[in-house]
Amino acid sequence: MISGGLDSMLAARTIQEQGIHVEGINFFTGFCVEGHTHAIREKDKAKPKRNNSLWVAEQLGIKLHIVDVIEEYKNVLLNPKHGYGQHMNPCLDCKIFMVNKAKQWIVENDFDFIITGEVIGQRPMSQRKATMPIVARESGADDLLLRPLCAKNLPATLPEREGWVDREKLHDITGRSRKPQMAMAKDFGIDEYSQPAGGCCFLTDKYYSAKLVDLWKARDSREYELDDVMLLKVGRHIRPQPHYKLIIAREEGEGRFLEGYKKDYISMKCVSHQGPLVLIDGTIAAEDLYLAASITARYGQGREAEQVEINVLYQDGAERCLQVKPMLEQDIPKAWFI
Amino acid sequence: MTREVLNARRLLCPLPVIRTQDKVKKMQPGDQLEVICTDPGVMQDIPTWCRINGHKVLELLSGDHEYTVILEVGDDKLNKLPIDLTM
Ligand code: SF4
């Protein structure tokens, strides 16, 4: 299982060193940080937009199979048997789910066992000594699940017992220190790898999780679609009233991305001055339009003007123009910002 | 040889790669696929995916916020190495 990070890269490499054919599998839940925001935001244009798991696979010289699990993942996120981590991250259930999918995949594709980059004690929720057997058992992978980086601290798995893999050449890393992995990377001649600061998943992000919970609360339902997940990654979100919120593009790249949603949402844009595109998520009443328009005006070049003109575009193409006074920054309550 | 077009506009990486991968699975070696996207990340990701999976990129086109990758499906037979325990 290739996440795009260093640990799974080292795990795969350790097994390759034993002359074993390895192929990578990577799961896309919709919440993966992978390139998305970089691809959207103009200011990040200079940064490489590579997909880390593809890059890792290429470095290792292995094939990579990326599996779309967006739909199935909903149940993991909405009903995690083992609960959430610090934010909306159901890490243990997520691990179990992914290993289970990998198990199905190896059966269908005639592979012998699964390798992950897990390390005992590396993560507080999903990578503890106590959770290692839970993942193996509840995923149904049992002893076909080999963790080469910490295998020597765990009971021998089937590949080790059968001699497919030489247990002596596996590792015994524990704990949160990254030093053993860095040393191993050096030994393997791997000098470039990604070390995502906030993890690889938006669900571990405090602000993202808050926006997700806000969305569920506002809709009185925890149903979500991929577009919802994507839109939570983009723009400034302001909820002046429970039944609608504004998604305000922060720069050109985001504006272009939001343009793609104009047929699905009511949108607003200042026409008398330069200003960002704003989507309205929820059901906005006619009397709320002025408030939304004055907030929209606040984020455009006309913010100091006495009056600006805001165009309201409905999903069916109908349009309406409103003359509003831009709201002052100090008049927008902090609680409206999600 | 057939040539097909895949509309991957509005999708963000890795979804265009996933859609390409799933489409290519149903095609034959030598067939061509034109993938039209709006995420500039595809200019890097689809060629990488092609390289590691044995397909050939014929053309990369970009213009007016659209990015097109034309690829030729390779002979993607699994070629597993036997387990070698002598190493
Ligand atoms: S960080 Fe996200 S992807 Fe990783 S295990 Fe936790 S929930 Fe799953």
The C-alpha angle with vertex B15 and arms to A112 and A193, in degrees rounded to 5, equals 65
Q: Could you tell me if A40 and A140 lie in one domain?
A: yes
Radius of gyration of chain A (CA): 24
pLDDT at B78 over 60: no
Q: Could you tell me if A165 and A55 lie in one domain?
A: yes
Mean pLDDT by 10 residues, chain A (338 residues): 94 98 96 66 63 93 96 97 95 96 97 96 82 96 97 97 98 93 94 68 93 96 93 95 96 90 96 97 93 97 97 96 96 96
Say what the ipTM of the complex is. 0.86
Contact A24, A53 (CB under 8 A): yes
Q: Could you tell me if A147 and A238 lie in one domain?
A: no
Q: Encoding tokens for residue A154?
A: 């765990």
Pocket residue to mutate for ligand 1, from A87, A201, A206, most atoms within 8 A of Cβ: A201
> Chain-wide mean pLDDT for chain B?
87
Tokens 């992950």 label which residue?
A: A116
Residue A303 placed within a domain = yes
- CATH code (residue A193): 3.40.50.620
Angstrom distance (rounded) from CA B37 to CA B34: 10
Residue B82 placed within a domain = no
Residue B80 placed within a domain = no
Q: Could you tell me if A155 and A268 lie in one domain?
A: no
Asked if B13 is an active-site residue, the reply is: yes
Tokens 């992000």 label which residue?
A: A205
Residue A215 placed within a domain = no
Residue A213 placed within a domain = no
Atom number, ligand 1, closest to the C-alpha of residue A94: 8
pLDDT tens by residue, A99-127: 999 999 999 999 999 999 999 988 777 78
Domain-terminating residue out of A202, A222, A243: A202
pLDDT tens by residue, B7-59: 999 898 899 999 999 999 999 999 999 999 998 889 999 999 999 999 999 99
Q: Encoding tokens for residue A176?
A: 């949160």
Residue A272: give the domain boundaries: 234-336
Question: In sequence order, what are the residues at sequence separation of 6 or more whose Cβ sits closer than 8 angstroms to the Cβ of residue A245?
Answer: A214, A218, A237, A238, A239, A280, A281, A282, A338
Residue A46 placed within a domain = yes
| Number of domains within chain B | 1
Q: Could you tell me if A185 and A315 lie in one domain?
A: no
A140 and chain B: CB distance < 8 Å anywhere? no
pLDDT tens by residue, A65-76: 999 999 999 999
Residue A293 placed within a domain = yes
**Ligand 1 pocket, residues with Cβ under 6 angstroms:** A 89-91, 94-95, 126, 199-201, 203-204
- CATH code (residue B67): 3.30.110.40
| Number of domains within chain A | 2
What per-residue confidence (pLDDT) applies to A61? 96
Residue B44 placed within a domain = yes
Residue B16 placed within a domain = yes
Residue B85 placed within a domain = no
Q: Could you tell me if A264 and A311 lie in one domain?
A: yes
What per-residue confidence (pLDDT) applies to A269? 97
Residue B81 placed within a domain = no
- Rounded to the nearest whole angstrom, what is the distance from the C-alpha of residue A89 to the centroid of ligand 1? 6
Question: In sequence order, what are the residues at sequence separation of 6 or more whose Cβ sits closer than 8 angstroms to the Cβ of residue B34?
Answer: B3, B4, B5, B6, B68, B69, B70
Angstrom distance (rounded) from CA B2 to CA A245: 47
Residue B61: give the domain boundaries: 3-75
Residue A225 placed within a domain = no
Q: Could you tell me if A162 and A37 lie in one domain?
A: yes
Angstrom distance (rounded) from CA A267 to CA A81: 39
Q: What is the pTM of this model?
A: 0.90
Residue B86 placed within a domain = no
What per-residue confidence (pLDDT) applies to B23? 97
pLDDT at B81 over 50: no
Residue B62 placed within a domain = yes
Q: Could you tell me if A189 and A238 lie in one domain?
A: no
